[in-house]
């Protein structure tokens, strides 16, 4: 599963690798056709990668192939994209963004969820 297209030198991890890590993860359900998703991707990357100790592993999940990710979409009740779901180090969902309205609302939701992540040990 390729990561969400990011700026050159981007470091968003692949979904398979990041899901296997035992640390907090931010699932980012997106679609390539979604302009709001495209605007959020670099913001998530900057929040995670540009940090000295990233609070979470970013896990971009492209919902264009809904069949491939149907179990995850059903499990986390993803009805629309973009959608953020914060998992703790045990893989339990501890937070989820609401219905997407605009860039400001989704950026605030992302930042709120990132603040919930426990500090890296």
Range of the domain at 68: 15-116
pTM: 0.80
* Lookup: tokens for 83: 């959608």
Q: Is 5 a member of any domain?
A: no
CATH of the domain at 97: 3.40.30.10
Domains of the chain: total: 1
Alpha carbons within 13 A on the beta-carbon side of 104: 0
Q: Is 94 a member of any domain?
A: yes
Q: Whose structure tokens read 């501890």? A: 94
Q: Is 35 a member of any domain?
A: yes
Mean pLDDT, the chain, integer = 81
| Residue 34 confidence (pLDDT) above 60 | yes
Query: 107: Cβ–Cβ under 8 A, 6 or more apart, which residues?
Result: 40, 43
Q: Is 75 a member of any domain?
A: yes
Q: Is 1 a member of any domain?
A: no
| Percentage of the residues of the chain whose pLDDT score is greater than 70 | 76
Q: Is 40 a member of any domain?
A: yes
Q: Is 7 a member of any domain?
A: no
The three-state (H, E, C) secondary structure of 46-88, written as one string? HHHHCCCCCCCEEEEEECCCHHHHHHHHHHCCCCCCCEEEEEC
Pairing mode of beta strands 25-30, 57-62: parallel
Q: Is 46 a member of any domain?
A: yes
| Residue 17 confidence (pLDDT) above 80 | no
Tens digit of each residue's pLDDT (9 = 90 or more) over 50-103: 666 667 888 899 999 888 888 899 999 999 999 999 999 888 999 999 999 999
């Amino acid at each position: 599963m390729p990561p969400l297209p990011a700026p050159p030198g981007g470091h968003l991890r692949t979904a398979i690798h990041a899901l296997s890590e035992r640390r907090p993860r931010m699932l980012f359900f997106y679609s390539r056709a979604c302009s709001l998703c495209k605007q959020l991707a670099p913001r998530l990357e900057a929040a995670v990668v540009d940090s000295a100790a990233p609070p979470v592993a970013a896990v971009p999940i492209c919902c264009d192939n809904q069949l491939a990710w149907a179990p995850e979409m059903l499990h986390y009740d993803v009805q629309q994209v973009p959608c953020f779901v914060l998992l703790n180090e045990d893989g339990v969902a501890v937070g989820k963004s609401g219905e997407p309205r605009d860039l400001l609302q989704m950026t605030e939701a992302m930042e709120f969820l990132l603040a919930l992540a426990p500090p890296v040990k």
